[in-house]
Structure 1
Amino acid sequence: MTDVHTGELEAAIGVFDSGVGGLTVLNALREALPNENLVYLGDTARVPYGTKSAVSVMRYAEQAVRALQARRIKAVVIACNTASAMALEHLQKCYPSIPVLGVIEPGAQAACQTTRRKHIGVIATESTTNNQAYQKAILELMPDARVQAQACSLFVALAEEGWHQGELVEQIIAKCLSPLLEKNGVEEQLDTLVLGCTHFPTLSAAIATVVGESVTLVDSAATTAKAVKARLADEHLLNPQLVAGQLNFLVTDGPERFARVANNFFNEAIAPASVELIDIQHFSAADE
């Protein structure tokens, strides 16, 4: 059990991402844990993480957690697939006294529970696909699964521009997913598709239209929220308050742009004045 005093149960859950995509995880967390206080940090000065080295991503992630710790947190959620793949184990070792969860393992577990024919597809950014984090996590849970991954980086641009549905969007999605949807026989057909980027849930309706009813979508944001709730319950860290939790936004650059683009991801409008600009460089990693 995590060593947190009763008075600290009202401490916030810290959530971080390289930018705005992690807001889909924040939506899911608010739905699953409406009375929890949440602090969201978007490292917008250094987005995207996908083009950075593993060493840099680990350093960025550790600085993000240190910045969140300054806001009094009881748990950390890595709402970024790249950081989850490259920095989760590092952060768990650096901060053993608090739960640190990523988005990949919950998504992999949900995919294995969902699949009917053990044929699972994963769509993500190029860096996450090349890292093979989802493939490894799924095969560790289900060694005889067939896992196909497809990089769909263009979906990030669609999501950020607010192009979530429509004929043109579906045409682009169909083109990008065509390698996964090629069908020979029934046994060869994909039956489960993991949305392996936090931007992608905003496109879920259009993706579902393209892949058809025979393919079940797994939203890593929703599955992560369920995993966070279960972990907090196990650690006796759930907030006992009966009122809606507070929500704070931090960014490392461009609060106005963050608030504007966030409207494509978050269920509520965010006022630019409510987004706090911080200098994350002040929160050096432990070995610096």
Structure 2
Amino acid sequence: MRIALVDSGIGLLSTAAALRRLRPDADLILSMDPDHMPWGPRSVPEIVARALAGARAVLDEGPDAVVVACNTASVHALQPLRDELEPRIPVVGTVPAVKPAADRGAPFAIWATPATTGSPYQRDLIDRFARGVAVTPVACPGLADAVERADRDAVEEAVGRAAARTPSDVSAVVLGCTHYDLVSEAVTAALGEQVTLFTAADAVAAQALRRLGEAPRPDAPRTGVLRVYASGRPAQLPEAALSYRAGALLAEGVAA
């Protein structure tokens, strides 16, 4: 089983690591786009073009599924990718975990990039799944970039700014950017253990397996390898990726 993941940068690590834990026998193909990142500030046609290019770059690897491990790309490029690849190759997107957070019935916040915060996409998620619940959108300028660079001082500064804008009565925070998953410990340290974090990685990984008709087998042999592409070129995991637990887990299966 081969699963490709597409993102502009290392935000895809958390979903890839979730897949590795669920199916250690699966081959994972990471398609990142360092030449054109970040995607968030780009126009919709550019985002669609970059996501399509990322998927096309790994088709020769024969992926059984493609996971769009990026919130921004899922908003704008999921349907074009499905139009091009399905039904031959199922395509799975990433949606912030607004519904499970709202199901608690208590106030919560959504941390996301400035481009996503206040977007029609995020407003629609809140309207559909969180009516009657107090929701605070919190823009996190600079956080994804700091995570991408593995700049811990910049991460702490950006997390601190976001925490200061998060109401004290929230019981949960939805991490609405896949990059943020990688620094969840820093987020918890800033907000306190009493605040529950909701991320999408585990749900997206489980959905990818469902689309393939496969079940989780965490006890399967660790035979899966990892292949990495950087803007279409065969590459290695970026050094910054190894700073995170997810990246270190995946590095154990990098192909020679």
TM-score range, shorter chain: 0.7 to 0.9
Q: CA deviation at 1:172?
A: 4.6
The CA deviation at 1:46 is 0.7
User: Does structure 1 residue 245 correspond to structure 2 residue 224?
Assistant: yes
Q: How many pairs are equivalent?
A: 250
Matches within 5 A, 1:61-72: 61-72=51-62
The amino acid that maps onto 2:239 is: R
Q: Is 1:37 matched up with 2:18?
A: no
Deviations 1:192-245 (A, max 9, x none): 21111121122211211222233210122233223323333xxx2569975521
The within-5 A match list for 1:164-183 is 164=152, 170=156, 172-181=158-167, 183=168
CA distance in structure 1 between the partners assigned to 2:10 and 2:234 by the alignment: 11
Whole-angstrom CA distance in 1 between matches of 2:250 and 2:171: 35
What 5-or-longer segments of structure 2 have no aligned partner?
none
Cα 1:132–1:255 shift into 2, 3 Å: farther
Instruction: Tell me the residue number matched to 2:206.
Output: 226
Q: Cα 1:36–1:135, aligned 2, differ >3 Å: closer, same or farther?
A: farther
How far apart, CA to CA, are the structure 2 residues paired with 1:259 and 1:163?
Answer: 14
CA contact (8 A) 2:20 2:26 kept: yes
Q: Is the 8 A contact 1:123 1:150 kept in 2?
A: yes
Aligned to 1:19: 9
Q: Compared with structure 1, are the counterparts of its residues 130 and 226 closer, same or farther at alpha carbon in structure 2 (3 Å cutoff)?
A: same
Question: Which sits farther off after the overlay, 52-61 or 154-163?
Answer: 154-163
Deviations 1:25-69 (A, max 9, x none): 211221122221111100111111011101111122122222222
Distance 1:87 1:169, change over 3 A: closer
Instruction: Say if 2:122 is the partner of 1:141.
Output: no
* Range moving further from structure 2, 52-61 or 142-151: 142-151
Secondary structure in structure 2 of the residue aligned to 1:40: strand
Task: Tell me how far apart the structure 1 counterparts of residues 113 and 139 of structure 2 sit (CA, whole Å).
Answer: 5
**1:198 is aligned to 2:184:** no
Aligned pair 1:93/2:110, yes or no? no
Give the Cα–Cα distance (whole angstroms) in 2 for the partners of residues 61 and 90 of structure 1. 9
1:79 is aligned to 69
User: How far apart are 1:268 and its partner, in Å?
Assistant: 4.0
For 1:269 and 1:253, the matched residues in 2 are separated by: 20
Please name the residue that 1:128 is paired with.
Answer: 116
Contact kept in structure 2, 1:78 and 1:84, CA below 8 Å: yes
Larger radius of gyration: 1
Match of 1:282? none
Residue equivalent to 1:286: none
Q: Distance in 1 between matches of 2:124 and 2:110?
A: 12
Aligned to 1:103: 94
TM-score, length basis structure 2: 0.83
- Assess, with a 3 A threshold, how the Cα gap between structure 1 residues 57 and 160 changes in structure 2: closer, same or farther: closer
Which has the larger displacement, 209-218 or 33-42? 209-218
Distance 1:72 1:243 in 2: 20
Aligned partners of 2:58 and 2:241: how far apart in 1? 20
Q: How many angstroms apart in 1 are the aligned matches of 2:240 and 2:18?
A: 18
2:230 maps to amino acid: V
Secondary structure of the residue aligned to 1:261 is helix
- Measure, in 1, the Cα distance between the counterparts of 2:173 and 2:216: 33
Q: Which moved more, 1:223-232 or 1:38-47?
A: 223-232
In 2, are the aligned partners of 1:20 and 1:42 still within 8 Å (CA)?
Answer: yes
Measured in 2, the distance between the counterparts of 1:24 and 1:177 equals 22
Residue number among 18, 23, 28 corresponding to 1:28 in the alignment? 18
1:191/1:41 CA distance change after superposition, 3 Å: same
SS in 2 for 1:126: coil
Cα–Cα, structure 1 residues 245 and 239, in superposed 2: closer, same or farther, change >3 Å?
farther
Work out the CA distance in 1 between the residues paired with 2:40 and 2:30: 19
